[in-house]
Amino acid sequence: MPGKIVLLLVSTLLTLLVSETGARLELLPLPEFVISDAWWMERWHRARRGLNPREFVELDPELGFIPAAGLSGYGYQGALISTNSAHMRGRREYPVERTDAARVVVVGDSYTFGQCANDDETYPAVMEAMLPNTEVLNLGVMGYGQDQALLRLRRDGFQYRPDLVVFGFQESNMERNLVAFRDYGKPRFRLTESGLALENVPVPMPEEYDRLWPPRLWNFARIYRDSRDQGTKEQKAYTRGLSRAIVHQMAADAEAFGAPLVVIHLPRERELAREEEYGWGFMDKLCAEGGSKGFRCATPIERFREIASTPEAVERHFDCHYSPELYHAVGEVISETLLRAFPEIF
């Protein structure tokens, strides 16, 4: 009997070693997408330790990552990208001290940053061109969750003492709030009975993921575990509740700084075919709460439907994030909203 137990242990150990070797040689196929730190971490390994180009990204222990400072016409996905010394999109430098201009801080993800768009084609750049005597600071970051947008507003945005805060809301980003690793490590909030609880700060750096322990095989076990929660009612309810809490907290923080929050809905391609104003029911409900929670909403979806009125036009305008025409429409809608709602500022 002891011999059989030893043989079983040895065979089990050999099986695990062979499986771990297969995982490290990437012979095991990556499962279909799962909302899971482990799925993103395995993808990170397979992308040779990084997804966004490292010359484009700077790691940050509080936010996870930010655009590198001082980019000048960096070519990426058909666009030329520049950043200033404060890691903002565009070449223009903004002093921390206020000037006589109105000031708007914009936070969000890649659609706010302006992925696939040149510096002057992003919707914050369109706002700055349209709003009279106004500085519009683009603090959007490719790959950000709504949690990171809130944290960047707190750390980097409020120091510029804005008159208004604009948050680019993309519903697909709600899932990013659930993970502590996406492209690179990131902070996240847990939704508790007492509110939002921040965790995974300081954010682990890559050398902490790229070690012999834990084994790569462990990623696959965690992916399987997390896949069981994928799409469940409980997960969907938690995702909506967490996103709502982040927006409410952003509105409360902005109000405390005397800078009202405006949430701009950034539609996805499939939302154009729906009849609801905001596409998905969650956005309708969120914006209905705005009056009592101290924020306003705006959406460019009707203008999107006019611009992308045929299947061929939809394919062209959504080929790489937004086309310049769609980015311009977002900038127009939010500028018109701000001028109408806050004439005392402009």
Q: Is residue 297 domain-resident?
A: yes
Residue 241 maps to which CATH number?
3.40.50.1110
- Residues 129, 16 share a domain: no
Q: Is residue 282 domain-resident?
A: yes
- Residues 116, 12 share a domain: no
Q: Is residue 346 domain-resident?
A: no
Q: What is the pTM of this model?
A: 0.92
- Residues 236, 275 share a domain: yes
Q: What are phi and psi of 136, to 5 degrees?
A: -120, 115
- Residues 166, 22 share a domain: no
Q: Is residue 180 domain-resident?
A: yes
Q: Is residue 143 domain-resident?
A: yes
Q: Is residue 80 domain-resident?
A: yes
Q: For residue 3, what are the contacts with CB-CB under 8 A and spacing of at least 6?
A: none
- Residues 37, 22 share a domain: no
- Residues 9, 136 share a domain: no
- Residues 182, 129 share a domain: yes
| Residue 3, amino acid | G
- So what's the pLDDT on residue 279? 45
Distance, CA of 60 to CA of 53 (rounded, Å):
15
- Residues 11, 131 share a domain: no
- Residues 296, 175 share a domain: yes
Q: What are phi and psi of 134, to 5 degrees?
A: -135, 135
- So what's the pLDDT on residue 7? 67
Count of the separate structural domains present in the chain: 2
- Residues 180, 163 share a domain: yes
- In the chain (346 residues long), the average pLDDT of successive 10-residue segments reads 67 63 72 91 78 76 95 92 97 96 98 97 98 98 96 98 97 93 93 95 85 80 90 92 97 96 94 63 86 92 94 94 97 97 96
Asked if residue 91 lies in contact with residue 82, where contact means CB atoms within 8 angstroms, the answer is yes
Q: How many residues does the chain have?
A: 346
Q: Is residue 228 domain-resident?
A: yes
Q: Which two tokens stand for residue 149?
A: 């947008």
Distance, CA of 87 to CA of 156 (rounded, Å):
10
Q: What is the dihedral of CA 89, 87, 254, 241, to 10 degrees?
A: 90
- Residues 73, 23 share a domain: no
- Residues 67, 16 share a domain: no
Domain with 215 in it: 31-341
Q: Is residue 257 domain-resident?
A: yes
